[in-house]
Structure 1
Amino acid sequence: VTCNEILAPAKGHLTCADPLGKYSFRSTCNISCVEGHKLRGKATLSCLSDGNWSAPTSDCEVVKCDPLKPIPHGSLQCYDPVEKFAYGSTCWLKCDFGFVHNGTNSTHCTEQGNWSYIPPVCQAIQCSPLSDAPSYGSMTCTHPLSTNSYNSSCEFKCEEGFVLKGADSTHCDHTGHWTHSTPICT
Structure 2
Amino acid sequence: MAPTLALLVLCQVALYTTVTSKKVCGRPLVTDGIEELTLKHVYEVGEEVTLTCEQGYLPSTATPRQMTCTTTGEWTQSDLACAPKMCPIPGPLQPLAMGRTEAPFKSVLNYTCDDGYVMQGANESRCLHDGTWSNPPPLCKAVNCQLPRPPTNGKIAHDKPVTGSTTMYGQGWTYECNPPKAPSYERGYCMADGGATEPPVCREVSCAIPPSIPNGFITFAVMRQHGYKEKVKYACNEHYHLDGDAEIQCQNTGNWSSKPVCRAPCKVGIKRGRIFYNAKKLWIADLNPNRVLHGEHVVFYCLNKAERCGYPVTTTCNDGTLPIPECFNEPGKVEYTLRPKTLPSEIPMCVSSPPTIPTSPARSA
Do the two structures share a fold, i.e. TM-score over 0.5?
yes
How far off its partner does 1:108 sit? Answer: 0.6
**What secondary structure sits across from 1:88 in the alignment?**
coil
Report what 2:132 is aligned to. 114
Give the greater-gyration-radius structure (CA).
Answer: 2
SS of 1:155 mapped into structure 2 = strand
| Correspondence 1:143-182 to 2 at 5 A | 143=160, 148-160=167-179, 168-181=186-199
8 Å contact kept, 1:165–1:183: yes
AA at the equivalent of 2:113? C
| Gap regions ≥5 residues in structure 1 | 1-6, 16-20, 47-55, 77-83
Q: 1:43 to 1:112 in 2, by over 3 A?
A: farther
1:66 and 2:85 are equivalent in the alignment: no
Indicate the percent of aligned positions where both proteins have the same amino acid: 21
Return closer, same or farther for 1:30/1:43 CA change in 2, 3 Å cut-off. farther
Q: What does the per-residue CA deviation read over 1:121-173, in whole Å, with 9 as the maximum and x for residues that have no partner?
A: 22322212346x67974421125xxx822221222324447x57886542111
Letter in 1 for 2:169: Y
Contact 1:137–1:159 (CA<8 Å) still a contact in 2? yes
Q: How far is the alpha carbon of 1:65 from its aligned partner?
A: 0.8
Query: Whole-Å Cα distance in 2 between the matches of residues 67 and 37 of structure 1?
Result: 18
Q: Which runs of 5+ in 2 are unaligned?
A: 1-27, 39-44, 67-77, 161-165, 203-365
**TM-score with structure 1 setting the length:** 0.57
Contact 2:172 2:188 in 1 (8 A): yes
1:45–1:97 CA distance, 2 compared to 1 (3 A): closer
| Match of residue 61 from structure 2 | 41
Matches within 5 A, 1:86-105: 86-105=104-123
Deviation (angstroms), 1:106: 0.6
| Correspondence 1:140 to 2:157 | yes
Report the residue type matching 1:110 in the other structure. Answer: L
**Counterparts of 2:35 and 2:118 in 1: how far apart (Å)?**
46
| Contact 1:71 1:122 (C-alpha < 8 Å) held by counterparts | no
Q: How many residues align?
A: 147
- Cα distance in structure 1, aligned partners of 2:127 and 2:170: 35
Give the letter aligned to residue 67 of structure 1.
Answer: I
Q: Structure 1 residues 138 and 179 mapped into 2: Cα distance closer, same or farther (>3 Å)?
A: closer
Counterpart CA distance in 2 for 1:118 and 1:22 is: 50
For 1:32, the equivalent position in structure 2 comes to 52
SS at match of 2:62: coil
Cα separation, partners in 2 of 1:13 and 1:166, compared to 1, 3 Å:
closer
CA shift digits 1:1-31 (9 cap, x unpaired): xxxxxx886232599xxxxx959xxx9x754
Q: 2 CA distance for matches of 1:41 and 1:148?
A: 59
| Structure-2-length-normalised TM-score | 0.32
Equivalent residues of 2:147, 2:196 under 8 A apart: no
2:233 counterpart residue number = none
Q: Which has the higher contact order (CA 8 A, sep 6+)?
A: 1
State how far apart, in whole Å, the 2-side matches of 1:103 and 1:97 are. 17
- Name the CA distance, whole Å, in 1 between partners of 2:65 and 2:135: 38
RMSD after superposition? 4.1
Distance 2:65 2:55 in 1: 21
What does the per-residue CA deviation read over 1:105-132, in whole Å, with 9 as the maximum and x for residues that have no partner? 111111111110112122322212346x
The letter of the residue matching 2:52 is S
